[in-house]
Amino acid sequence: MRALDKKKFVSGNLNGVYNELANLLGMDDVLKIHAAFRGQQITFPVELFSREFIRRQIIEEYNGHNVKTLATKYGYSEKWIRKILKEHIDSEES
């Protein structure tokens, strides 16, 4: 099999999502993604960070008055933020 002509490696020649990724990340990164994941369907979670990381951040950043700010910053409800804080307080008391 002949090697592909690298001059043809432009995003406009790529199929579907590979074109979008090339425009976003660059051709070299798309080639790496293709090599590692080709043929697989990948779903990206809405949340970038794990819930455990978010929990730690909320506990670390809470100042007694900033539930609304934390909810907005991390994209969770105030109710969920309060629940995390309560669980943390309860675990420290036991």
Label residue 1 by pLDDT band (50, 70, 90): very low
pTM above 0.75?
Answer: no
HSE on the CB side for 1, CA within 13 Å? 3
Q: How far is CA 71 from the centre of its chain?
A: 18
pLDDT in tens, 16-74: 889 999 999 998 899 899 999 999 999 989 888 999 999 999 999 999 999 999 999 99
HSE on the CB side for 47, CA within 13 Å? 10
Q: What would the two tokens of residue 42 be?
A: 């990948």
Residue 4 above 70 pLDDT?
no
HSE on the CB side for 92, CA within 13 Å? 7
Domains of the chain: residue spans and CATH? 6-37 (no CATH), 51-93 (1.10.10)
Residue 6 above 90 pLDDT?
no
